[in-house]
Each structure stands twice: as structure tokens, then as C-alpha cells.
A and B are shown apart, each in its own frame.
Chain A
């Protein structure tokens, strides 16, 4: 079956430009995560959705970062007024065909997309 897809795969933006990154999760998956991965580092959590509800946005680095999932499937991560430090790979992951209570979510495998590599010049 289809896995998680992300688009675009590569994005070059000029400093100050707004960008939008798209994630198509595995069909039926309830949970959706966004991560940011700087060069040579492990991924870092940005935000989490359960269906259309954004339950955790504690990892978003500034108010320039905004994520949405209006219909509980496709998600968009938007970065306004991009800065050079925003250059990174942005990864999306999905999991769970069921709505799980908090303690059970840790057992669920997360399926990652290939990421969008953003370069801000």
C-alpha cells in the first residue's frame, strides 16, 4: 500500500519568503507528526495531530511556524518569513488507525515520509 508522501521533495526559498510543505499520511491513520532534522542531527519533534485536532505544538520553534490538518488527513506545515536557520529536512510521520489513549500511543509504530529538504538562501 501507499506510504507517507511529502511534497515538494526539495524547496529553495529566499530569506523572508513564505513556504508550505505538504504531507499525505497513510490512509486512515489518525495520528500525524511533524519533525525537523538539521544536517547531521537526529529529527526533532515539532507538532502532533490526532485527526484534525492539534494536540501538541510544543516543538514549533517560533510563531512563524504553523501547521494544520483541517479534514484530519492531509497536513500542511507553513513557515512564514523564512530564515536561514530554518534550512533543514522536514519529516512527516503517521500512525494508528484508532484513536488511542495517551499511554497506548507509545506502542504505535510511526511511518515516516521521505521528507522535504528546505534550503533558505
Chain B
């Protein structure tokens, strides 16, 4: 699976938007971009995923660059409960021996200040 690069940490103020960047310059045409987050002392949870087009759901939005070499997870109004480690993960939809496992990097630790 292709590698992703994220900032180690970011800070945000409560009720303000947060833009979490992810670089994936070696992405292939069949790689899906997934985001998971991990709240303190919990297992990771799915946030959103996309392939080429921007995506929205109740938790967040995913903006994908036209060349797909980067993407941004957008939390429209950060709350204290959004403080977590956010992982950007590429998952190959075409590899022959693909189990669907997730390959996590270091992620971005988001701090939300009241």
C-alpha cells in the first residue's frame, strides 16, 4: 500500500473548522483514501472514505485534490469530543492478494481547545 504523510499534531479552537491534511504522492489509480480516528483509550473508528470525488457524511467532509496526490479531512465545527488521533490510510482496491487490512501511519493528533 502507498505511503501517506500527515503532520504529527494540530490544534483547533472549539466550534471552529479544522482542516487535516494528508499527502499521498505515490497513490495509484485503484487506491481508496480512508480516514479513521482514535479517541483516547478506544479503538479506531471509521470517519470517511473516497476515491476521486469529494465526499460528505454526518461526521466530516473529504476533499480530494484533482491529481489525488493529497487530500484534506474537514471537520466543520470541532468539538472537544473530536480530540483524537486521525489516520489517513490508502487501501488498494485491485491488489491480487489483498485482505483489506488497514495500514496505519503515525496519524495527526488533534487537540481542541475550549
Contact = CB atoms under 8 A, between A and B. Distances in A.
Contacts of B95: 102-103
B105 interface: yes
A44 interface: yes
Nearest to B1: A106
Contacts, number: 77
**Interface core residue of B46, B100, B105 (most chain A CB under 10 Å):** B100
Nearest to A34: B101
A106 B106 CA distance: 20
A104 B92 CA distance: 9
Contacts of B103: 45
Interface residues of B, number: 28
B101 A56 contact: yes
Contact of B43 (A104, A105, A112): A112
Report whether over half of chain A's contact residues are helix, strand or loop; otherwise say mixed.
Answer: mixed
Give chain B's interface secondary structure class: loop
Most chain A CB inside 10 Å of its own CB: which residue of B43, B46, B49: B43
A108 interface: yes
A95 B100 CA distance: 10
A62 interface: no
Contacts of B100: 31, 48, 95, 100, 102, 105-106, 108, 110
Interface of B: 30, 32, 41-46, 49, 85, 87, 91-107
- 5 closest A-B pairs by CB: A105-B100, A112-B43, A42-B104, A106-B91, A48-B99
Given A102-B98, A103-B94, 17 more contacts: A4-B43, A31-B100, A33-B101, A43-B102, A48-B99, A93-B43, A95-B100, A102-B96, A102-B100, A104-B93, A106-B32, A107-B32, A108-B100, A109-B46, A110-B44, A114-B43, A115-B43
